[in-house]
Amino acid sequence: MWIYGYFEETKLPRVHVGDRADIRMISGRVLLHGTVDGIAGSDNQTNT
């Protein structure tokens, strides 16, 4: 499963490939766990 997110540039230095990720859906009822697989710019959708 892939989940794309929007993050402010000032917060990106704290996000690294391999980091654990906890994702809560907007409904608040579903909590997913995963790992950061890649980071790409909004104008370049390929992982860097």
Three-class HEC string of the chain? CCCCCCCCHHHHHHCCCCCEEEEECCCCCCEEEEECCCCCCCCCCCCC
Across the chain, which has 48 residues, the per-10-residue mean pLDDT values are 82 91 88 90 62
- Residue 23 maps to a domain: yes
- Residue 16 maps to a domain: yes
Tell me which residue range forms the domain holding 13: 1-37
**pLDDT (0 to 100) of residue 31:** 93
**pLDDT (0 to 100) of residue 34:** 93
- Residue 45 maps to a domain: no
Q: Give the total number of structural domains in the chain.
A: 1
- Residue 20 maps to a domain: yes
- Residue 3 maps to a domain: yes
Distance CA 2, CA 14 (A): 20
**pLDDT (0 to 100) of residue 17:** 94
**pLDDT (0 to 100) of residue 20:** 96
